[in-house]
Amino acid sequence: MAVRIAVVKESAASEKRVSATPETVKKFIGLGAEIAVESGAGSSASIADADYEAAGAKVGTRAATVKDADIILGVQGPDPDSLKSAKKGAWIVAGMCPRNRTCPATRPCSMRRRNMAAPSR
């Protein structure tokens, strides 16, 4: 069974980066992964949803994108409350802003409640 990777849209207004481009989507698919991209994830980086679809990704809502994902990619750690449809044991690969105590992604209890893991260094 293929690994399912979700690419989420960044929520910070100042964030212009995206965790995957159509080129990286092609590479992941070439390695056998299934890719789902949240609609608008690349818009701040001037990447259209159609470009992700042309690369082979499925584009949809956040809930549909993270549903059944084994790995959730982000630039900044997503708010755990926005990942309610993610499956148990999903890995979050994103910057978790450990020095920013107000960042919702740094609340370990939020991740544990959803049985998610964020790899540490």
Digit-coded pLDDT (tens) for 54-113: 999 999 999 999 999 999 999 988 888 888 888 888 998 888 765 555 555 555 545 555
Q: What is the mean pLDDT of the chain?
A: 85
pLDDT of residue 1: 77
Among positive and negative, which fits the CA dihedral 49, 50, 51, 56?
positive
Q: At residue 37, does pLDDT exceed 90?
A: yes
Phi, psi at residue 6, to the nearest 5°? -110, 135
Place of tokens 């470009």: 51
CA distance 44 to 75: 13
For residue 19, give the DSSP letter: S
Kindly state the tokens that stand for 97.
């802003």
pLDDT of residue 97: 65
pTM of the full predicted structure? 0.81
Euclidean distance between the first and the last CA atom of the chain, given in angstroms as a whole number: 28
Report residue 107 CA to chain centroid gap.
17
Confidence bin at 114 (pLDDT 50/70/90)? low
The neighbouring-strand residues paired with 34 are: 4
pLDDT of residue 31: 96
Q: Is the CB of residue 83 less than 8 Å from the CB of residue 104? A: no
Report residue 41 CA to chain centroid gap.
9
